[in-house]
Amino acid sequence: MEFFPGAGTAPWVLVLLALAGAVIGGLTGRVLATGGYRIESDQAADLPRHWWWPAVLLAGLWVLMGWRIGDYAGWSALPAFLFFAWLAVALVWIDADVHRLPDGLVLPAYPALLVLVLVGTVGLGDWGALVRALACGAAMYAVYFVMAFVSPSSLGFGDVKLSGLIGFLVGWIGIYQAFVAVVAAFLVGGLVGLVLLVGRRAGLRSHIAFGPSMLVGAFVGMLVQYHVVA
């Protein structure tokens, strides 16, 4: 399957996506800034004060998804990727704050994303894409599950549950893209860890949230284009 950016995405559509993303991201940041996601077992410091950055990040991600996905499958695929971008922003905030990916966000995202991807599949008219998505989601979940079982200090079960979502959505684009998402996640995670160590913001035994790196890897995988040359 060859996948191309949405060449039919008009500039005014990208502007609307940026504005909508900024509004929704700002509202999301306001809600997250209340700390309602925190539980008693969380060992967290003061609440993040900069509620505005989710607005900037989500606006950028929605423009990126509008350009990358665009009118693919008659625009029916875009909502799934916009939803995932919103979820990513919320999870980055929470995981960076309390080093936890809450089930209250991740688990309901499974049926929500399944419905949205199903709509995109109907619009695409290629049921093989849905089968591939399910297979990639299951495979990525299994890989992360094994790694978390072998080294629970490195990966949490929240990361495992998030991996299934990433594999499912990125796998809908292509197997190669899902593979890139996994590799990119560990490269980004390694780079972040190195920067924190050099900057003395973390030690060798410090727990560094891996969810943000996984999500960055997912978007890297979405952006990759793979062309088979006969």
Give the Å distances, CA to CA, from 6 to 13, 31, 52, 117, 172.
11, 32, 29, 17, 16
| Residue 21 forms part of a structural domain | yes
| Residue 6 forms part of a structural domain | no
Domain that holds residue 92: 11-223
| Residue 229 forms part of a structural domain | no
Total-model pTM: 0.91
| Residue 202 forms part of a structural domain | yes
pLDDT recorded at residue 204: 46
| Residue 1 forms part of a structural domain | no
Q: Is the pLDDT of residue 42 over 80?
A: no
**Percent of all residues in the chain with a pLDDT value above 90, rounded to a whole number:** 68
| Residue 4 forms part of a structural domain | no
| Residue 216 forms part of a structural domain | yes
Q: Is the pLDDT of residue 228 over 60?
A: no
Domain count, the chain: 1
Confidence of residue 151 (pLDDT cuts 50, 70, 90): confident
| Residue 27 forms part of a structural domain | yes
Q: Is the pLDDT of residue 225 over 90?
A: no
Single out the residue of 33, 27, 32 nearest to residue 55, CA to CA.
27
Single out the residue of 229, 230, 102, 121 nearest to residue 171, CA to CA.
121
